[in-house]
Structure 1
């Protein structure tokens, strides 16, 4: 007699899952790759290795990676303050973290451009110090930090909140110092969530368009991001060129996120073995 599955409806739910994944993700991605076949191998290589394309890709991925690192560090600090301390206005600050989620990206771009322009509240004193933010790669960096930090905070926050204080108390009772508790108990428990938040912040920053184009300046070979270059190629009716750049972005982003996920799995396995 066949053993019944504990969870009924597995076949139906699996079929629906694969159908929706195919319709929403796999088929559009397949169409993206198929469109690039309109280019010969030589034309594809020439398109994705042109100076303008390479610079746009380096701007998007390089600054997105740097912004994700900053968001990782700042996000963990914010989470620590929100979870481990009680202070006036805590709920207000907790709600402020979600503003980049709800704020339209164009509004965020306009706000950041006004704030960091040479006459803005923050841009003016920075300009006096010789630091120009708006319409430079530094502006892209600021915009990517702005839209990415909630991903780290909201991913790590529930994990830290659920971390049992007894573990820290037990480590302290065994003679562990504060830095040892942080590095040996807290950080290993948070590592999978931290890596997930980092991957989400990076992925969002790489594909960000609305908030970045207002503060970037969009100068070719200076502050032009890859998503904008794709839009420019589409406006020029060079659809195959646009999809070629998109395919490179997709492959590189997938490889980086896959690598981060593998590190995350390794951290989870190591944490489970240590417990």
Structure 2
């Protein structure tokens, strides 16, 4: 009597075999949690915006005041994230590669924007950067006004976004062995060549991650910006403030419409950054 071979179920190419069991249960719990916390609220935002007719919806999201707020919000967020990308790398480099008096204090101060209430940060920055503030008065001598301008908005967004870059890049720098740099130097590479060809490829994924986090945080920032911006329509009014204005007027559908625009723009930009990060991982073999 012939014995039939056992039937082996086909492998699912989308599921990687894990040592630990419970993929179905963990996937279900993750999907449920993400739905309750993220997907359902965002869907509710879009549904609320669709209570408006298409002409009303377009009028809310495309009027001159809204367009000016988009320009300031995304422009200042991109500028602040770019500044943090550069200076955050420098701060992380100093904290990882050098030992100096007060290093632990500086390391703790980097996380201060995480713990400090945003309203307190806004008040402090406003006091510093007004034309009579400790810092702002010196810029005012050169006829540069920071508080109540787009510069003030950028300063506030830079302040709250710096820790994201530093804390993302710092562990990657700590894992890079200094022997690699010494080997490159022994082969005749200059310091600039060592940084560009040896260190930078390994840092690019973490830099892009830090940039994305700082950028996303800056787009939705409200508390620290509302004080230093001056909130002048068409000049220093950010989109989150315009949304709050709609809510105070009980125009919930209008606020949801502006929020939906912010959601779409943010998702597209973050998706592009993540695709770039994925490409960088593949290119560097990460």
Q: 112, 132, 141: which is aligned to 1:119? A: 132
Aligned equivalent of 1:82, options 95, 105, 116: 95
Q: Counterpart in 2 of 1:255?
A: 268
Question: Who is 1:47 aligned against?
Answer: 60
Q: Deviations over 1:195-227 (max 9, x none)?
A: 000000000111000000010000000100000
Greater per-residue helix proportion: 1
| Alignment correspondent of 1:65 | 78
CA distance in 1, matches of 2:108, 2:88: 14
Residue 137 of structure 1, CA deviation:
1.2
Identify the match of residue 198 of structure 1 among 185, 206, 211: 211
Q: Whole-Å Cα distance in 2 between the matches of residues 241 and 99 of structure 1?
A: 35
Q: Which has the larger displacement, 8-17 or 200-209?
A: 8-17
- Structure 2: where are the runs of 5+ without partners? 1-5, 10-16
In the aligned structure 2, how far is the partner of 1:167 from the partner of 1:50? 55
Give the deviation of 1:170 after TM superposition: 2.5
Task: Name which one, 1 or 2, has greater alpha-carbon Rg.
Answer: 2
1:215/1:5 Cα in 2 relative to 1: closer, same or farther (>3 Å)? closer
Q: CA deviation at 1:5?
A: 4.8
2:256 corresponds to 1:246: no
Distance, in Å, in 2 between the alignment partners of 1:135 and 1:174 is 53
1:23 corresponding residue in structure 2: 36
Structure 1 gaps of 5+ residues are: none
Per the alignment, residue 179 of structure 1 pairs with: 192
Aligned residue in 2 for 1:165: 178
SS in 1 for 2:285: helix
1:178, distance to aligned residue in structure 2 (A): 1.6
C-alpha distance in 2, partners of 1:193/1:219? 36
User: CA-to-partner distance for each residue in 1:164-186, whole Å, 9 max, x for gaps?
Assistant: 22322232233222211100110
How far, CA to CA, are the matches of 1:89 and 1:63 in structure 2?
Answer: 32
Q: Distance in 1 between matches of 2:177 and 2:127?
A: 44
Match of 1:227 in 2: 240
Matched, 1:138 2:157: no
Q: Which moved more, 1:76-85 or 1:122-131?
A: 122-131
Q: How many residues align?
A: 273
Normalising by structure 2, we get a TM-score of 0.92
Q: SS of the residue aligned with 2:21?
A: coil
Counterpart of 1:217 in structure 2 is 230
RMSD of the alignment, in Å?
1.4
